[in-house]
Amino acid sequence: MIPVTKPYLPSREKLNHYLDGIYEREWLTNNGPLLQELTQRLEAYLGVRNLLLVSNGTLALQVAYRVLGISGQSTYVEAITTPFTFAATASSLKWEGVAPIFTDIDADSWCLDPAGIEAAITEHTRGIVPVHVFGNACEVEQIDALAQRHNLKVVYDAAHAFNVTYRDKSLLSYGDAATLSFHATKLFHSVEGGAIIFKREEDLERAKQMINFGITDAKTIGEVGINAKMNEFQAAMGLCVLDEIEQNLAGRQTVWESYADSLNGKAKFQQRQTHVSNNYAYFPVLLNSETEVKALIERLNEQKIYPRRYFYPSLDTQPVFGNQHCPVSRDIAKRIACLPLYHRMTSADIASVVGGWNK
CA 11 to chain centre: 25
CA neighbor of 284 nearest in space, from 308, 305, 303, 265: 308
Bridge partners of residue 198, in order along the sequence: 177
Q: Identify the CA nearest to 81 among candidates 116, 57, 48.
A: 116
Strands (E) across 115-268 are located at 125-129, 153-157, 165-166, 169-170, 177-181, 194-198, 215-217, 220-221
Residues 190, 193: Cα–Cα separation, whole Å: 6
* Residues taking part in catalysis: 186
Give the angle subtended at the CA of 256 by the CAs of 308 and 163, to the nearest 5°: 95
Give the three-class secondary structure for 13: helix
Q: How far apart are CA 2 and CA 346, in angstroms?
A: 10
User: Measured between alpha carbons, how far is residue 311 from residues 54, 274, 308, 327, 333 in Å?
Assistant: 25, 23, 9, 14, 6
